[in-house]
């Protein structure tokens, strides 16, 4: 499936995102032609984890959650990682972004522990 011309926003914290749940979806989306923007809490490297405990790779974000807007994006992805999900679900900017996507009917893709942030935002249909 081609995602040419589609823009996808990925939300993450700067520590605790499961490495494969951030890197693999970003790579697959880009291979399919999507333009992917990674937004983190701070404008510094994202230290991923492997199995929620071992250090993984460091991913450079494109922007911050505070600077990010849902405008111009077709979908949002919330990767898992227990630490990541726990922090994102209480982050006002992450909640604002997830809510904006869900309220406008655009896809919210949440991986593993990632749904915790969208449920807190009170928006996905069929949650529960």
Please check whether residue 25 is in contact with residue 76, taking contact to mean a CB–CB distance below 8 angstroms: no
* Beta strands, E only, the chain: 7-12, 15-18, 35-40, 46-50, 54-59, 63-64, 75-78, 108-110
66 is catalytic: no
Query: Which one is catalytic: 32, 66, 109, 112?
Result: 112
What is the layout of strands, in order, in the sheet containing 54-59?
15-18, 46-50, 54-59
Q: What are 29's two structure tokens?
A: 């989306």
Q: Which residues are catalytic?
A: 112
């Amino acid at each position: 499936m081609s995602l040419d011309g589609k823009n996808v926003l990925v939300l993450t914290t700067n520590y605790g995102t499961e490495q494969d749940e951030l890197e693999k979806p970003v790579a697959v989306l880009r291979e399919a032609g999507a333009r992917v923007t990674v937004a983190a809490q701070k404008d510094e490297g994202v230290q991923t984890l492997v199995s929620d405990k071992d250090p993984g790779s460091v991913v450079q974000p494109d922007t911050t959650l505070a600077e990010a807007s849902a405008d111009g994006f077709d979908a949002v992805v919330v990767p898992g990682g227990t630490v990541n999900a726990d922090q994102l679900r209480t982050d006002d900017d992450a909640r604002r972004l997830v809510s904006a996507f869900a309220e406008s009917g655009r896809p919210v893709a949440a991986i593993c522990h990632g749904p915790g942030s969208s449920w807190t935002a009170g928006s996905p249909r069929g949650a529960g």
